[in-house]
Amino acid sequence: MSDPNCIFCKIAAKQIPSALLHEDNLVVAFKDIAPQVPVHVLIVPKVHVSGLDGLGEEHKDLVGHIALVGQKLARDLGVAESGYRMVVHCGPDAGQTVFHLHFHLLGGAPMGGKMV
Ligand code: 5GP
Ligand code: ZN
């Protein structure tokens, strides 16, 4: 269920420190080490899944849970009204660099009308 060489598995297991904002039985959420906007949080399942392409039917509840954790964090961090994005990179063209599923929660500054 976890990969000994995976940095996000190590963060989820507290073997590597992070600025933790949320933890429950399914996920951890912590500040991105290189924030691209004032609020930049990573929501990460405790189970090792390589990315969106590694998801199966058994992960449907997990993904719904991640969306609701993102909603709660956005409210707690004060960006629910100003607006926010939840973004997932999948594969090389999308720029995925860590191959453990994670949702970026981005907010706290206008991000413009363009997606890329
Ligand atoms: P992606 O794979 O979606 O492109 O992004 C991976 C994200 O993980 C990047 O935004 C990067 O800054 C972040 N990241 C990589 N290593 C660490 C780490 O050790 N700690 C934290 N907090 N963030 C990390
Ligand atoms: Zn992992």
Q: Using one digit for the tens of pLDDT, what is the confidence trace for 1-37?
A: 688 899 999 999 999 999 999 999 999 999 999 999 9
Distance 1 CA to ligand 2 centre (A): 8
3-state secondary structure of 8: helix
pLDDT over 80 (residue 67): yes
Is 65 tagged catalytic?
Answer: no
- Cα 12 from Cα 21, distance rounded (Å): 12
Q: Is 39 in the pocket of ligand 1 (CB under 6 A)?
A: no
pTM of the entire structure?
A: 0.98
Q: Read off the pLDDT of residues 89-110 as tens digits, 9 standing for 90 and up.
A: 999 999 999 999 999 999 999 9
Spans of all domains in the chain: 7-107
**Catalytic one among 22, 59, 89, 102?**
102
The CATH architecture one would assign to domain 7-107 is 2-Layer Sandwich (3.30)
